[in-house]
Amino acid sequence: MLIAKDLWFRYTRDWVVQGTSLTVEPGEVVGLFGPSGSGKSTIGKLLAGFLTPTKGEILVDPRGSAHPVQLVLQHPERAMNPHWTVREILAETGASQAEVEAVDPHLVRPVWFDRFPHEISGGELQRVNLARALLARPRYLVADEISASLDAITQARIWHLLLEQARAQEIGVVAISHDPDLLAAVTDRVIDL
C-alpha cells in the first residue's frame, strides 16, 4: 500500500499542500483532481520522493522494488537525453539489453529502438517514457497529465497500455488530471482537492 498521511508542503511562505492524506492499494487506479494551482503536481512529486514533505509522512510497501514510486510527466522530451537512442534511454533504468528488447511491442515498437527522440512522434515518445518507468519495476506509478498534449485517440491508446500493464503487474496508479471525463474513464475513484 502507498500511504500519504497528513502531508503539508510549501515552496516559499504559503502552504501549497495542506493536510492531504491518501492511500493507494496495489493495482488500484486513483485519480487526483483539482483546479490549476491546487497542488496536484506537488503531491505527485512528494509521493515519488522528488520533494520532501514539510510535515506528514509517506509510507510505501516496496515489495522488492528499488524504485517503488515512479513519476511520469506530461513532456517526455524534457525527461530524456536527446542524444540517446530509445534503446539507450530504456537501458538507463539498469535493464539489460534482453530486458529492453522484451518490452511489450505494443508499448514500444522494436523499429524505434535505434531512433532518437526527435525521430518518433510525441505520443510514441510518451509510450517510451512509460516503458522506461515500468522497466524500473515500480509498485506505484504517478501519471501527471501524461496524455494532456495528445489527441483523443493517442490519449486512449496510452491509457489502455498503462492500465493493461498496471493490472498485469499489480501496480497502483495515481492519475493526475484536470479532465474529469478522463479520470471517470480510467480510475477506480477520484480524490477532489
Give the binding site for ligand ATP (CB under 6 A).
Answer: 11-12, 16, 34, 36-42, 178
Give least dist CB 19 to ligand ATP, A: 15
Nearer to ligand ATP, 11 or 21 (CB): 11
Nearer to ligand ATP, 36 or 96 (CB): 36
- Please spell the DSSP secondary structure of 83-144, one letter per residue: TS-HHHHHHTTT--HHHHHTS-TTTS-GGGTTS-GGGS-HHHHHHHHHHHHHHT--SEEEEE
Residues in the chain: 193
Give least dist CB 98 to ligand ATP, A: 38
Nearer to ligand ATP, 11 or 192 (CB): 11
Task: Give dist(CA 17, CA 7) in Å, integer.
Answer: 7
Q: Fill in the DSSP letter of residue 60.
A: E
Give least dist CB 47 to ligand ATP, A: 12
Give least dist CB 44 to ligand ATP, A: 8
Nearer to ligand ATP, 96 or 181 (CB): 181
Sheet holding 17-24, edge to edge: 17-24, 2-9, 55-60
Task: Give dist(CA 172, CA 47) in Å, integer.
Answer: 12
Q: Do 58 and 4 touch, CB atoms closer than 8 A? A: yes
Give least dist CB 38 to ligand ATP, A: 4
Nearer to ligand ATP, 51 or 125 (CB): 51
